[in-house]
Amino acid sequence: MEYYNILNLKPNATREEIKKAYRQKALEHHPDKGGNPDMFRKINNAYNILTNSDFKINLQKCDNSKHIIEIPLNTVYFGDTKRFKIHRQVLCNFCNTTCENCNGTGIIKQSHQISFFQQIFNVVCPRCNKKGIVKGNMNCSSCKDKQYVTETKIIEINIEKGVYDNQVLDIITDWGIQPSNFTQIAGDLYIVCKVLDHPDFRRRGDDLFFTPEITLSQSLVGGNILIPHLSGSYNFDITGFGIIDPNQIYTVIGKGLPSKSSNKYGNLDIQFKIVYPKKTFNQIELQKFKHTLKELNLLSLR
């Protein structure tokens, strides 16, 4: 158990041994004597928990929580490192103590005799008003009598290339939901990645899907289209593709996203959207057009 380790104790330590170890450790790590305040807080917390006689049954882990990092699709392509602060409100160990009336649970059992029957009720502890803790000394220099201390930590997260939406990037132990009394232990904080939608590309696994608009003439005779790719925009010549079929997917190998499982890249799938001109042919134009189609053997072909 972590709490026993903090005080250098064996798990079968007696109450007296816990007290003795606590006094020794607290003196050694007291912030007034140049000790680390974080370590001092841990020692106090361990002592409070271990001397709570009910802790083995009642110690409950608070819920975990999520910190979402929103990233653009470009980050999936290139990877990135993010640095940010996280905060938590930690129960002050200098002035809060476990309520002895309810052993820190906030609830006491009350019995009620009705003729031959004895009924047991759970009632809110009147001493701590369900909190499980009582505030000891006033004028607490640690929390300014707020009972909680705000702690901040700087996190650096490495976002690998090919990261998935909703991927857990890291788990920060004890930085989730915080205890409100000493019968609880902090939950963990999950750092989760949310990949934002891109205006041009949709993601399908490691592949990218792109639907550029082309003109009718481009669909027939080809030309250059601009691909605003994540790795940099480039011109893509579609001449030679034949007549473009708007129902077909044209695949460009290796122009998708980096794959997490290999060092390959996915593909870029393109489905063209043909924008037809608003035009009505006059009789002369119509004849010219039919003539050209006939010359190309396209007049009655499917």
Among residues 143, 227, 238, 257, the one that binds Zn ion under rule CB under 5 A: 143
Min dist. Cβ of residue 87 to Zn ion (A) = 17
Query: Should residue 142 be labelled a site residue for Zn ion when binding is judged by CB under 5 A?
Result: yes
| Stretch near Zn ion under the rule CB under 5 A, chosen from 66-74, 98-106, 179-187, 286-294 | 98-106
Of residues 59 and 252, the one with the C-beta less far from Zn ion: 59
Residue 127 interacting with Zn ion (CB under 5 A): yes
Binding-site member from 49, 69, 92, 268 for Zn ion (CB under 5 A): 92
- Helix then strand count (H, E) for the chain reads 7, 19
CA atoms within 13 A on the CB side of 65: 12
Measured from the CB atom, is 28 or 54 closer to Zn ion?
54
149 with 142: CB under 8 angstroms? Answer: yes
Closer residue to Zn ion, CB minimum distance, 2 or 54: 54
- Regarding 90 and contact with Zn ion (CB under 5 A), the answer is no
Q: What is the H or E stretch that residue 274 is in?
A: strand 273-275
Q: Which stretch binds Zn ion (CB under 5 A): 122-130, 173-181, 216-224, 231-239?
A: 122-130
Q: Which of residues 22 and 182 has its CB atom nearest to Zn ion in the complex?
A: 182
Q: Are 17 and 11 in contact (CB under 8 A)?
A: no
DSSP state of 258: B
CB nearer to Zn ion: pick between 142 and 271: 142
Taking the CA atoms of the chain, what radius of gyration do you get in angstroms? Answer: 34
Burial 113-127 (b: 16+ CB within 10 A, else e): eeeeeeeeeeeebee
Contacts of 42 (CB under 8 A, 6+ apart): 6
Where along the sequence are the contacts to Zn ion (CB under 5 A)? 92, 94-95, 99, 101-102, 125, 127-128, 140, 142-143
